[in-house]
């Protein structure tokens, strides 16, 4: 599915969460090749000497060697000068990657994201599927149901297709249907219109009746899902909520990994 993955690495505790999740996601996503990108950002470079830069390069190469041996896949490294978001996006484009992975190390339930947050900026700008792993990762179980959050709008079609492929015919899944004023869908219409809701008896299909962000994040935490899958609506960096308010809210508050699929 996602044969070549590009992962942003900053050697923080957040990266440790990404690394632990990648070990579990390689088989699920059918990852065959991985590129680790570390950006030597200009605003931080002044506080580091040449030895620090050399040490980070060596550390990056050692992490790549360890992951290649452990995961039995090809792992490349990219140590670049530049800002993290643009460096990761440029590398993904050059490598023709299928997926980007990043830690959300500025995640907090008590404060808003800032524009400097790498995870949210990637979510706003990225045209590829993006896996966001929160630094305060909650309890997850790899055999727990995958969770799809959808409003059944055209923008979420690719997310639904991705969920269907990942669940297959033998894995448990949960579908949470978000009703919005812009796209009202009767439950019977959902069952009739979505093959995954009728063809797979292993799916638990629910309709969100309260605040969608709160309901979805709570359900994800309760079932200990290893992955929330949802679609986003655009890549306009100017708009305040280019992802859609529900998608952005889930990226902000979920303590489970989030797979964001562009429309």
84 plus 13 within the same structural domain: yes
18 plus 60 within the same structural domain: yes
Domain boundary among 113, 134, 155: 134
What is the model's pTM?
Answer: 0.86
242 plus 160 within the same structural domain: yes
Distance of CA 12 to the CA centre of its chain: 18
124 plus 227 within the same structural domain: no
Domain boundary among 112, 134, 156: 134
Domain count, the chain: 2
Q: Is the distance from CB of 132 to CB of 234 less than 8 angstroms?
A: no
Give residue-wise pLDDT tens across range 21-77: 888 899 999 999 999 999 987 766 555 677 888 899 999 999 999 999 999 999 999
Sheet holding 130-134, edge to edge: 74-81, 33-40, 4-8, 99-104, 130-134, 258-262, 228-232, 146-150, 173-178, 203-208
What is the C-alpha to C-alpha distance for residues 76 and 167, in angstroms, rounded to an integer? 29
Domain boundary among 73, 106, 134: 134
113 plus 14 within the same structural domain: yes
User: First and final CA of the chain: distance in angstroms?
Assistant: 17
Structural domain contains residue 140: no
User: Per-residue confidence at 159, pLDDT binned at 50, 70, 90?
Assistant: very high
130 plus 9 within the same structural domain: yes
Give residue-wise pLDDT tens across range 97-138: 999 999 876 544 443 433 347 888 898 888 999 999 988 888
Q: Is the distance from CB of 91 to CB of 126 less than 8 angstroms?
A: no
116 plus 199 within the same structural domain: no
Q: Is the distance from CB of 29 to CB of 99 less than 8 angstroms?
A: yes
Give residue-wise pLDDT tens across range 141-158: 999 999 999 887 777 889
Containing structural domain, residue 213: 146-262
186 plus 75 within the same structural domain: no
| CA-only gyration radius of the chain, Å | 18
């Amino acid at each position: 599915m996602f044969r070549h993955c590009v992962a942003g690495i900053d050697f923080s505790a957040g990266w440790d969460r990404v690394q632990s999740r990648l070990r579990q996601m390689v088989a699920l996503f059918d990852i065959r090749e991985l590129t680790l990108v570390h950006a030597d950002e200009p605003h931080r470079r002044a506080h580091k000497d040449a030895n620090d830069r050399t040490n980070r390069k060596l550390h990056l190469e050692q992490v790549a060697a360890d992951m290649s041996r452990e995961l039995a896949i090809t792992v490349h490294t990219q140590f670049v000068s530049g800002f993290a978001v643009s460096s990761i996006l440029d590398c993904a484009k050059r490598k023709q990657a299928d997926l980007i992975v990043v830690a959300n190390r500025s995640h907090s339930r008590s404060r808003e994201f800032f524009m400097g947050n790498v995870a949210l900026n990637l979510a706003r700008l990225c045209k590829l599927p993006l896996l966001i792993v929160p630094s305060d990762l909650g309890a997850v179980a790899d055999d727990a149901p995958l969770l799809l959050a959808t409003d059944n709008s055209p923008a979420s079609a690719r997310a639904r297709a991705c969920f269907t492929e990942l669940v297959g015919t033998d894995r448990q899944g949960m579908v949470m249907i978000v009703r919005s004023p812009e796209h009202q869908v009767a439950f019977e219409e959902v069952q009739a219109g979505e093959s995954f809701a009728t063809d797979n008896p292993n799916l638990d299909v629910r309709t969100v009746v309260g605040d969608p962000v709160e309901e979805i994040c709570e359900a994800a935490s309760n079932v200990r899902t290893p992955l929330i899958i949802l679609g986003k609506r655009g890549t306009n960096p100017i708009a305040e909520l280019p992802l859609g308010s529900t998608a952005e809210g889930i990226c902000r508050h979920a303590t489970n990994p989030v797979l964001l699929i562009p429309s």
